[in-house]
């Protein structure tokens, strides 16, 4: 007995049935990445965007493979994590494959997304620069080194500005505190003079202000 899903049971319509199965199973996401278009991706939920294809490849991997940094940026905006492993073996992150495929625009885009260039990018903890040295890719190593130095300088500048701001806050707080202390001291001196005047008046002094400051 022939199975109802076999091409023999479909007869002349077998080709059409097979195409229908492919179309129904295809979300259009891979084609959207390949074409550099987001209109088909807009129709998919976050869960669908995160789902790997039949052989375990994810959309971030395909972005690296087809060198589509603008689609990677779109996927990041939709909520995909670009630091997660993106291959069927869960071996490397998008940065790992961008280095090995020499996708330099993608490396710069991943840095813009906040993917750390000093963080491991594979399953055994190797750093991006290590992979550049393994591949003898001087351009990639120079690019990543430049990004690391720029990030460190930015962090140092932020720290210096923070310290300056902190010291300024401390100075302003001390200045405000001194103003309050001076105001309190003036009030105490005023009350002291007032008591001295009242005392002299009660004692019958004709000129209570003559030595009120003594």
Which pair of tokens denotes residue 186? 């003036």
Q: Is 74 exposed, middle or buried (0-12, 13-18, 19+ CB in 10 A)?
A: buried
Q: Is the pLDDT of residue 165 over 70?
A: yes
Which is more confident, 1 or 113? 113
**For residue 11, what pLDDT is reported?**
64
Which is more confident, 184 or 50? 50
Residue 42 lies in a domain: yes
Which pair of tokens denotes residue 67? 């060198």
Residue 179 lies in a domain: no
Give 127's DSSP letter.
Answer: -
Which is more confident, 200 or 134? 134
Residue 37 lies in a domain: yes
pLDDT band for 10, please (50, 70, 90 cuts): low
Q: Is the pLDDT of residue 16 over 90?
A: no
Residue 171 lies in a domain: no
Range of the domain at 30: 14-136
Classify 69 as helix, strand or coil.
helix
pTM of the complete model: 0.64
Q: Is the pLDDT of residue 5 over 50?
A: no
> Which distant-in-sequence residues (6+ apart) come within 8 Å of 101 by Cβ?
64, 65, 67
**For residue 119, what pLDDT is reported?**
94
**For residue 1, what pLDDT is reported?**
42
Which is more confident, 155 or 149? 149
Residue 117 lies in a domain: yes
**For residue 3, what pLDDT is reported?**
45
User: Could you tell me the sign of the dihedral formed by the alpha carbons of 206, 211, 213, 214, in that order?
Assistant: negative
Residue 196 lies in a domain: no
Q: What is the pLDDT of residues 40-71, one digit of tens each?
A: 899 999 999 999 988 888 999 999 999 999 99
Q: Is the pLDDT of residue 160 over 60?
A: yes
**For residue 19, what pLDDT is reported?**
53
Classify 122 as helix, strand or coil.
strand
Distance between alpha carbon 97 and the CA centroid of its chain, in Å? 20
Specify the number of domains making up the chain.
1
- Residue 77: CATH number of its domain: 1.25.40.20
Classify 92 as helix, strand or coil.
strand
Per residue in 96-121, is it b (16+ CB within 10 Å) or e — as a string? bbbbbeebbebbbbbbebebbbeebb
**For residue 166, what pLDDT is reported?**
67
- Distance, in Å, from the CA atom of 141 to the CA atom of 173, rounded to the nearest integer, reads 47
**For residue 55, what pLDDT is reported?**
82
Residue 99 lies in a domain: yes
Residue 168 lies in a domain: no
Which is more confident, 92 or 195? 92
DSSP letter for each residue of 141-165: HHHHHHHHHHHHHHHHHHHHHHHHH
**For residue 128, what pLDDT is reported?**
96
- Distance, in Å, from the CA atom of 178 to the CA atom of 183, rounded to the nearest integer, reads 8
């Amino acid at each position: 007995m022939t199975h109802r899903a076999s091409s023999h049971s479909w007869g002349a319509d077998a080709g059409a049935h097979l195409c229908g199965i492919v179309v129904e199973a295809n979300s259009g996401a891979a084609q959207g990445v390949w074409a550099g278009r987001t209109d088909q991706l807009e129709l998919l939920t976050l869960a669908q965007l995160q789902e790997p294809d039949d052989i375990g490849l994810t959309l971030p991997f395909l972005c690296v493979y087809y060198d589509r940094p603008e689609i990677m940026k779109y996927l990041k905006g939709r909520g995909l994590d670009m630091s997660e492993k993106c291959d069927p073996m869960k071996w490397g992150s998008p940065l790992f494959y961008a280095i090995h495929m020499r996708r330099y625009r993608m490396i710069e885009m991943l840095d813009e997304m906040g993917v750390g260039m000093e963080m491991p990018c594979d399953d055994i903890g190797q750093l991006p620069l290590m992979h550049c040295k393994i591949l003898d890719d001087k351009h990639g190593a120079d690019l990543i080194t430049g990004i690391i130095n720029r990030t460190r300088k930015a962090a140092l500048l932020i720290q210096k500005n923070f310290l300056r701001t902190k010291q300024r806050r401390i100075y302003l707080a001390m200045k405000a505190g001194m103003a309050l202390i001076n105001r309190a001291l003036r009030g105490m001196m005023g009350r002291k003079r007032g008591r001295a005047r009242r005392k002299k008046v009660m004692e019958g002094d004709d000129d209570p202000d003559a030595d009120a400051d003594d």
